[in-house]
Structure 1
Amino acid sequence: MEKLQREVRFLKAYSLILTTVLVAFFFMAFRTDFGKQRFQEIDVERINVVEKDGTLKMVIANGERQHPGMAEGKELAPRKRQPGLIFFNSAGDECGGLVYDADKKDGAGMVYSVDQYRNDQIMQLQYMQDLEGSKARTYGLKIWDRPDDFTLTRQNQVHDSLTALKDEKVYNEVMKQLVSEGKYGTERLFVGRTWKDEVGLFIRDSKGKVRIKIYVDKQNQTKIETFDEQGKPVTK
């Protein structure tokens, strides 16, 4: 009888301990704040940095799992992107990033972009190189002008509408017109090395036409060139 009582007490104690452990694991499984953690090394394909309310602020990812982008709180359609960092503002827009990669088909490159509010990039620190053929490369700082009334969301709407027409000729004509009007941005300045091995300052007007070039060419000759609105050299 005494042996039976000991076994019953043991089973009660065992049951109590097991129940306590299970309850602890249950609450830990639903815990969202684990405090500060430290890891010596981790392997990961993607990290989402979010605010306490879940607002996405930054994504670090490989190419396969890279975020497609976001405009006005809506995620863009899936697309191929390079690995790196993508930044998002509190308004729900992608606002810049740092991407990089290298392969024989597309060459090597790294680009740090700053995006205009609810639009595409207006400034880039970039490096690009052909890994085959001439092995040419370019790198430097480039800036663009972009309109306020033709946001990234509007660009996507126009693209979808034109695509739905299934008329390649109309699509190309409309896109050519929009590009000529600067709706998709106009390059204004480049400081760095060009594909032609020219190192210097290159300034364009509001229509994207080159107006001033101050550079040293591949023969180490110093050049200062100005052009009119038609692209013709201005002689003084």
Structure 2
Amino acid sequence: MNDQKLKRRINFLSYYAIVSSLAFIAIILWMYKNTGAKENYDELYVKRLNIVDETGENLRMVISNESRQHSGIIHGEKLPKRERPSGIIFFNSFGDECGGLVYDGNEKDAGMVLSIDKFKEDQIMQLQYMENTQNHNRKYGLQLWDYPKENAFKERNNEFKKIGMLESASEKKQAYQKMKSDSLLMADRLFIGKGFNKDVGLFIKDKNGNPRIKIYVDDNDNPKIELLDTEGKIIK
């Protein structure tokens, strides 16, 4: 056998080995896909994990670090990129963000928040913890809000953008006041827990965000029950 024939046979065997290997890998992958085989891992390191529906296109949950965190989706529109802490963001069948669990802590402040969003709106309920880690001043408890006007997310965001373009503090204050009178701002309704002032108790506000009922124990262990008018004056 001359050198030329030997070379052709070697080349043929090389090609045959490569093609056979690729075919074998393809068969294994096909069997894995069609038999529903599952892999088990003891540990998994990822920067972001997207949980999707059966189509593989629509988000249901995002678990991410702070650098890759999802900015959120409201009314089917993705919100502009913004800073968000590490945690979990939930998405409903409509495709909108509907709540999440986020957390962080550093030499300045710390916190953890479990939020529940109103449908096609922002948060209306939170289990929250917030702390200034420098002076150890903290607040934690259950917080509730209301949105006086339905389906006002886009209108409210547009007004916030306009306010961001204003230069003077007085102009911004007037703009915020107008938003409040137009029922565009969320209203604080209830807090159960410990406040930054160290009062622990139940604090209820009316639909305009005015404190009306306080049942609490102050920092000096004095129990108090207060009923207030719309101006904040104690009635009883």
Do these two structures clear the TM 0.5 threshold for a shared fold by scoring above it? yes
Question: What's the counterpart of residue 117 of structure 2?
Answer: 115
Q: Structure 1 CA distance, aligned partners of 2:151 and 2:173?
A: 18
Q: For 1:197, what is the secondary structure of its paired residue? A: coil
- Cα 1:148–1:32, aligned 2, differ >3 Å: closer, same or farther? farther
Question: What's the counterpart of residue 15 of structure 2?
Answer: 15
Q: Structure 1 CA distance, aligned partners of 2:33 and 2:118?
A: 34
Question: What's the counterpart of residue 189 of structure 1?
Answer: 190
Question: What's the counterpart of residue 178 of structure 1?
Answer: 179
Answer yes or no: is the 8 Å Cα contact 2:147–2:186 preserved in 1.
Answer: yes
Identity value in percent: 38
Residue of 63, 68, 73 corresponding to 1:70: 73
Worse overlay, 118-127 or 9-18: 9-18
Worse overlay, 204-213 or 154-163: 154-163
Cα shift at 1:172: 4.2
Counterparts of residues 1-236 of structure 1 (less than 5 Å): 1=1, 12-23=12-23, 35-53=37-55, 54-105=57-108, 107-133=109-135, 135-161=136-162, 163=164, 168=168, 170-235=171-236
Cα shift at 1:103: 1.6
Counterpart of 2:82 in structure 1: which amino acid? R
Cα shift at 1:208: 0.6
Q: Which residues of structure 1 form unaligned runs of 5+?
A: none
Cα shift at 1:191: 0.6
TM-score, length-scaled by structure 2: 0.85
- Cα 1:49–1:15, aligned 2, differ >3 Å: closer, same or farther? same
Cα shift at 1:156: 2.2
- Cα 1:5–1:58, aligned 2, differ >3 Å: closer, same or farther? same
Answer yes or no: is the 8 Å Cα contact 1:74–1:92 preserved in 2.
Answer: no
Answer yes or no: is the 8 Å Cα contact 1:118–1:151 preserved in 2.
Answer: no
Cα shift at 1:179: 3.0
Q: For 2:198, what is the secondary structure of its paired residue? A: coil
Answer yes or no: is the 8 Å Cα contact 1:99–1:110 preserved in 2.
Answer: yes
Q: Structure 2 CA distance, aligned partners of 1:170 and 1:103?
A: 34
Worse overlay, 93-102 or 9-18: 9-18
Answer yes or no: is the 8 Å Cα contact 2:148–2:187 preserved in 1.
Answer: no
Answer yes or no: is the 8 Å Cα contact 2:130–2:139 preserved in 1.
Answer: yes
Q: Which digits, 9 at most, give the CA deviation of each residue in 1:122-142, with x for residues without a partner?
A: 000001111113x11111001
- Cα 1:18–1:114, aligned 2, differ >3 Å: closer, same or farther? same
Q: Structure 2 CA distance, aligned partners of 1:2 and 1:52?
A: 60
Q: Structure 1 CA distance, aligned partners of 2:148 and 2:227?
A: 26
Answer yes or no: is the 8 Å Cα contact 1:68–1:77 preserved in 2.
Answer: yes
- Cα 1:100–1:132, aligned 2, differ >3 Å: closer, same or farther? same
Counterpart of 2:127 in structure 1: which amino acid? L
Q: Structure 1 CA distance, aligned partners of 2:23 and 2:185?
A: 58
- Cα 1:76–1:193, aligned 2, differ >3 Å: closer, same or farther? same
Q: Structure 1 CA distance, aligned partners of 2:107 and 2:227?
A: 37
- Cα 1:220–1:167, aligned 2, differ >3 Å: closer, same or farther? closer
Q: Which residues of structure 2 form unaligned runs of 5+?
A: none
Q: Which digits, 9 at most, give the CA deviation of each residue in 1:117-167, with x for residues without a partner?
A: 11111000001111113x111110010111343432332233335556x56
Q: For 1:59, what is the secondary structure of its paired residue? A: strand
- Cα 1:110–1:22, aligned 2, differ >3 Å: closer, same or farther? same
